[in-house]
Amino acid sequence: SDIMTVKAFENAIMVHAAIAGSSNSLLHLPAIAHELGIQLPPELFDEIHRKIPFLLNIRPSGFWPGEYFWYAGGVPAIMEEIREFLHLDVPTVTGNTLGENLDELKQNGFYERCRKYLPALGVKVSDIIKPAGSPIKAQGAIAILKGNLAPEGAVVKHAAISPKLMQATLKARVFDCEEEALQAVLTKHIHPGEAVFIRYEGPKGSGMPEMFYTTEAIASDPELIETIALITDGRFSGATRGPAIGHVSPEASEGGPIALVEDGDLIRIDIPARRLDITGVAGIPKSPEEMEAVLAERRGRWTKPAPRFNTGILSIFTRNSVSPMKGAYMEDTRHG
């Protein structure tokens, strides 16, 4: 707790922004912070990602293989590029501050030892880690979206999304588990201009597995990767490519609006404005007031599904887990 302070977590989020890290950080970091009595709201991630440039040209968001990151100097080299933003006075496990650690690495030959492999590969450091003054993108990889589809928020790794989908209106195709959605993608039953929904895969629904196979199937289909989006209350892998919006909260099992979406609904994605909304029914646009009335009527018909797990650790987790936007950790429900 002496080392894992608010400033240290903010440093971690800054590095995460610069390397276009996984959306899973919105689960891991808040859950770890919770154990220390620290809150990391999703808005903090969005705020930091807006100011920290995306620098790392490594797959899946970039070009080079993962090991090239180390050849370029690894995390310390990223920290040097964003040094002006970091809290350099935080204590670390070495007994020195972060700033002192970074200075020592420059003095002890660390970067030279890493970078001696680059000439044989024909690659420069700046090919792998872009200078902060000429980044891949001016903002980090993650955005937090809110709207009538995700009142508590949703997470998108926009660094891996086509510019064509940064602002788009799509038609909903709804599936209540990943297996059904994957089958639809593989059998060509998903078409350009659709928003594929996978719901009841949040923490309380199924333990929040990653939607890896469906995202890979979409990313591998040249007709779909720039024309559809995947929207889910589940999560994604760090290897995720393409148009994936996850952690939609409240989740379907809690009766969140994602549980009320029907085939043919119009879904508006506006990443620059940080919005995710249901804007129409059966392909017909509706006003916000009309849409709210539709959702209220659907909410009256919705019934909470039976628990998917009744024994074992997943039954304990699904009963006690909190919202994905809080970190999906288990609440301590003991009293006294």
Is 330 within a domain?
A: no
pLDDT tier, 241 (very low <50, low <70, confident <90, very high otherwise): low
Q: Which of 133, 118, 152 is nearest to 30 (CA)?
A: 152
Dmax (CA) of the chain: 66
Residue 73 lies in a domain: yes
Instruction: Give the mean model confidence (pLDDT) for residues 211-224.
Output: 90
pLDDT tens for each residue of 245-260: 999 999 999 999 999 9
| Structural domain for 73, as ranges | 6-128
Residue 136 in this model has a pLDDT that exceeds 80? yes
Give yes or no: residues 171 and 252 share one domain.
yes
Task: Give residue 335's pLDDT.
Answer: 46
Same domain, 179 and 81: no
Q: C-alpha angle with apex 300: 296 to 304, nearest 5 degrees?
A: 120
DSSP H or E segment with residue 294: helix 288-301
Pairing between β-strand 194-198 and β-strand 167-175 as defined by DSSP bridges? parallel
- Quote the radius of gyration of the chain (alpha carbons, Å): 21
- Same structural domain for residues 108 and 165? no
Count Cβ atoms below 10 Å from residue 138 Cβ, excluding itself: 10
290 three-state secondary structure: helix
Residue 315, in any domain of the structure: yes
In a domain, 333, yes or no: no
Listing DSSP states for 115-160 in one string gives HTTHHHHT--HHHHB--TTS-SBSS-SEEEEEETTEEEEEEEEGGG
pLDDT tens digits, one per residue of 52-85: 999 999 987 789 999 999 999 999 999 999 999 9
For every residue of 307-333, which 3-state class applies, written as one string? CCCCCHHHHHHHHHECCHHHCCCECCC
Same domain (yes/no): 119, 221 = no
User: Do residues 178 and 313 share a domain?
Assistant: yes
Out of 88-97, 133-142, 249-258, least confident range: 133-142
Tell me how many domains the chain contains.
2
Residue 230 to residue 233: CA distance in whole angstroms: 10
β-strands 244-249, 229-232: how paired? parallel
What pTM did the predictor assign?
0.91
Q: Active-site residues: which are they?
A: 237
In this predicted structure, what is the pLDDT of residue 333? Answer: 64
Share of the chain above pLDDT 90, in %: 87
- The reply to whether 123 and 147 lie within a common domain is no
Does 328 map to a domain?
no
| Pair 256, 156 in one domain | yes
